[in-house]
Chain A
């Protein structure tokens, strides 16, 4: 039976190859009865390899997807739908137009079946539109905007890992419930910051807290002293300063928060989005005890550590949640192809519909059919004391697991209508 299948596959691929040779430029998916278009599965990774996200995503995202391919091949061996799986990548340099062009090129010319990662929300939304147009799959991991699974959702785009709602809601609700009553929020004045602020405020209020004030700050900004001097003078005096800044601006905020000694004045720090790279930039001492929400961290448990070790052996770095998310997304995609027996996007879509995911990255995960968002357990974590660190990049420890249903916005609230 297996042999027969293989022969058919070879025969059809030969037929397809000769057909393609005849037409010269037929392109993939030429409507043959082959199980996989172009006789191979091609995964495309569009990411930022030179801009501000290159440490969080970048080359290592490509490596993560390649690891997923290797693990898939190992797992299924001869039973795999195809033994020809290729990974191609492009550096969008944080420019949405390059992401957009490369996505078209990947789907049209390189025979790419699914695109992964794509940090920067404008680039992600631009690729989502291409995916919709070309009816090919797109798994965004790197961007945070809820628009991908909200007003701008579409049937071929999945958001896999995290979004601004998850980040803000997790930290806001948990800390407000734990007794942080009065909040002063500062957020960078662009879409990401505005969304974080909106979701943070909502979460705090829902959990019985009070937002004394929230201020938009210039972006980018070097000097947050104004807000640091303002905080203690607010009425009522805030218990927590919630910062939604990211990257270099976050480093500025924390440096200046410490300079102004706000902690001693009884104002704690809560951070909207933080990566290990940020903690390394600021220094553990300056952040010890700070809580934030994350989609995953490498030292979460044995399974995660095992994968992180493998990742480190390949890249020399510890993975961020974006890297782990890309691995998981690629793996889930390949599993769905395996179940569908084809890489036809609509059939794979059917297999992903409300599919349950439970791997080291996504615990209790569901790829929700309603908005194509992956809901899974998120983690409220805090930065370790330096003395407790077991290795150089062992920065965080678990405070509390946020169950999948609480972690993500419900489908009903997402504002998505799958057309």
Chain B
């Protein structure tokens, strides 16, 4: 929990990091191609949303594409048919994602661990089939095309300008996640992860807490999905496909689970890598991403952010997600990497 540590750590470092973060966010489209930069921050918020569940609550959702995708479509439909400012469309999309998350969350949080992953994956696949079937609304395999970027008549066709129009949505989303984690509510969900039985015995309804965090996470994923589809001007089946769920998990694991900021970092790297691979001519995306994944889980389980934090304080190790709280000598030997 780098954040809680940062909260405790001397104030200057915390402020310095925050300022660096904001500068990077503001400067991004100057050195990254703007549509790619917007993708980065959208995926970044998506990863942060997933981290709320994965890192903080200890629930691996392998079906978060459902919420990202449902919002991508809903945002697009609202923008196309109502022509309202795109902030409203995205809000509508995120609300829709949250609404869908209620029944899915209700059914899924009864499961834990790996069961939860498979159940969410299966629900997301169901959404995928629905999106494919419901062609009159979603465009089916052709995608929902021609999503406008309306904002009080401003000309947002320039991707560079659109980045700055979209940035507040992302910042708001990340801020919300940050507030959630640092609220009393956030402390309860971490407690649920660390020791569900004790938390239950303290009188907290574990199920309800999990559903609420699930829905909040879906809402944030929805904000991100809305930004994404507005950025590209379309929503496609790719957005609800299981590989999208897998991609965001990669981002969080790579950046560092349970670190919040790690997700942003992971998203930036993965999006940049994907963009690079499109023109690099190596023709082996699966091998590259798969290898990164395997190396991360074998050697850098805490992810980039987590590893960096651990190096700063080498005497205390924490594995962000752990089933039983036990560390064996094997893992301590390997964790140093």
Q: Give chain A's interface residues, CB within 8 Å of chain B.
A: 49-50, 59, 88-93, 95-98, 100-102, 104-105, 109, 121-122, 125-126, 129-130, 133, 145, 147, 152, 189-192, 194, 219
Contacts and interface: CB of A to CB of B under 8 A. Distances in A.
Contacts of A109: 33
A126 B36 contact: no
B140 interface: yes
B51 interface: no
Nearest to A133: B157
A125 B238 contact: no
5 contacts: A101-B35, A104-B159, A129-B145, A129-B233, A194-B140
A133 B35 CA distance: 14
B133 interface: yes
Given A95-B238, A191-B142, 8 more contacts: A59-B283, A98-B278, A101-B232, A102-B279, A104-B159, A125-B142, A129-B146, A194-B140
A91 B142 contact: no
B278 A126 contact: no
Contacts of B285: 50, 93
Nearest to A152: B145
A250 to B, nearest CB: 16
A101 B159 CA distance: 10
Contacts of A90: 278-279
Contacts of B286: 50
B143 to A, nearest CB: 4
B83 interface: no
B56 interface: no
Nearest to A124: B142
B23 to A, nearest CB: 22
A194 B141 CA distance: 10
B234 A100 contact: yes
Interface in B204-248: 228, 232-234, 236-238
B185 to A, nearest CB: 34
Interface in B237-268: 237-238
B141 A100 contact: no
A105 B285 CA distance: 20
Interface in B273-288: 274-275, 277-279, 281, 283-286
B39 interface: yes
Contacts of A97: 39, 228, 232, 236, 238
A92 B145 contact: no
B140 A191 contact: yes
A145 B140 CA distance: 12
B71 interface: no
B132 interface: yes
Interface string B20-44: 0000000000000101100100000
B135 interface: yes
B141 A126 contact: no
Given A89-B279, A92-B278, A98-B278, A104 B135 contact: no
Contacts of A125: 142-143, 145, 234
B196 interface: no
B85 interface: no
Contacts of A122: 139, 141-143, 145, 234, 236-238
Q: Which 6 A-B pairs have the closest CB atoms?
A: A122-B143, A191-B141, A191-B140, A190-B141, A122-B236, A96-B236
B234 A126 contact: yes
B133 A126 contact: no
Nearest to A134: B157
Contact of B278 (A91, A152, A190, A191): A91
A273 to B, nearest CB: 14
B139 A191 contact: yes
- Please indicate which of the listed interface residues B39, B157, B228, B236 has the most CB atoms of chain A within 10 Å of its own CB: B236
Contacts of A91: 277-279, 281, 283
A166 to B, nearest CB: 17
A147 B139 CA distance: 11
Interface string B103-146: 00000000000000000000000000000110100011111011
Nearest to A51: B285
Nearest to B132: A190
B279 A190 contact: no
Contact of A101 (B133, B146, B236, B275): B275
A300 B247 CA distance: 44
A126 B233 contact: yes
Contacts of B135: 191, 194
A55 to B, nearest CB: 13
Nearest to B234: A126
Nearest to B233: A129
Nearest to A192: B141
Given A126-B233, A191-B139, A194-B135, A104 B279 contact: no
- Please indicate which of the listed interface residues A96, A97, A145 has the most CB atoms of chain B within 10 Å of its own CB: A97
A101 B234 contact: no
A404 B281 CA distance: 38
B232 A100 contact: yes
Contacts of B132: 189-190, 219
Contacts of A59: 283
Nearest to B138: A191
A152 B144 CA distance: 11
Given A189-B132, A190-B132, A191-B135, A126 B143 contact: yes
Contacts of A190: 132, 140-141
A101 B42 CA distance: 14
Contact of A152 (B35, B133, B146): B146
B320 to A, nearest CB: 30
Given A102-B279, A121-B142, A96 B238 contact: yes
A59 B39 CA distance: 26
A121 B132 CA distance: 14
A92 B232 CA distance: 14
Contacts of B142: 121-122, 125, 145, 147, 191
Nearest to A91: B278
Given A101-B36, A125-B145, A96 B278 contact: no
Nearest to B160: A108
Contacts of B33: 101, 105, 109
B232 A126 contact: yes
Contacts of B139: 122, 191
Contacts of A89: 279
Contacts of A130: 233
Contact of A121 (B133, B141, B233, B279): B141
Contact of B143 (A92, A96, A189, A192): A96
A219 B35 CA distance: 32
Interface in B59-82: none
A340 B270 CA distance: 43
